[in-house]
Amino acid sequence: MPTINCDNLQEFLGKPTIQFAENNLAGCIAQPANTYSNLAFIIVGIWCWVLLSKTKFKDLYLFPISFILIGLTSGFYHASATFFGQFLDFFSIYILGSVLIYFAAKNLVYNKTILGIWLCVFTIILGFILWFAPIFRIPIAFAELFALIYLERKNLGKATDAKPFKIALLIFILSFAIWNLDLYSVWDIESLNHIINGHAIWHILNSFSLYFVFRYYLERETKLTKNQKFPS
């Protein structure tokens, strides 16, 4: 049986179905810029964790956990350049999507426990679709995004300033445009020793977007309970 090493991971974990502009290198870090830029998600996740330590909102820890999970799985995907890494990357995004939908819907439903269970089952089903039909990965992600926007429209006026959510959405739109420009090499930034490129910028911008999403829900929980001072 051949030995698994950094140069033959694709033989064991499969070839990805998507390739961004950064060319793969030999060794354990196939795409350095796309790998290291995921540190932005981890840093934002840690900072959100610190902010939550000043509150009593235990369920909101799902946000920094999701951010850190995205940073780790996306980092593994770009370091290994494998199908399994690609699956983990997108599945972590689906997990975050379900977390967002939970917080957007929990004030609109009667039983939050049933909502949580349903979303867990739903996320697992999405995982199976992602594994066996990865071509649907983007439509599914956008379906979750549109569901989130629809639910948040129903939440307007619930003691929450929607400005952070709108800022997050605008940053995401910009980063998604850069994601496509990089994917199709329309705007192929020349990677200086694999330090920066379009997809790496997508990672960094998305980490900022997620930070504003977190601030939006943290502010909502703070104002609704009226017994916590919003941390700065």
**C-alpha to C-alpha distance for 68 and 214, rounded to whole angstroms:** 13
**C-alpha to C-alpha distance for 149 and 158, rounded to whole angstroms:** 15
pLDDT tens string 80-139: 999 999 999 999 999 999 999 999 999 888 899 999 999 999 999 999 999 999 889 889
For residue 195, count other CB atoms closer than 10 A to its CB: 11
Extended beta strands in the chain, E state = none
**C-alpha to C-alpha distance for 19 and 15, rounded to whole angstroms:** 10
Delimit the domains of the chain by residue range: 25-225
Q: What is the pLDDT of residue 228?
A: 45
Residue 220 makes CB contacts below 8 A (sequence gap 6+) with 103, 155, 158, 159, 160
**C-alpha to C-alpha distance for 176 and 203, rounded to whole angstroms:** 10
Residues 11-22 have a mean pLDDT of: 89
- Token code pair at residue 57: 């909102």
Whether 73 shows a pLDDT value over 50: the answer reads yes
pTM: 0.90
Higher pLDDT, 153 or 58: 58
Nearest to 62 by CA among 10, 19, 7, 103: 103
CATH of 25-225, one of 1.10.3470, 1.20.1070, 3.30.310, 3.10.450: 1.20.1070
- Token code pair at residue 87: 């699956």
Of the chain, the end-to-end C-alpha distance in Å amounts to 55
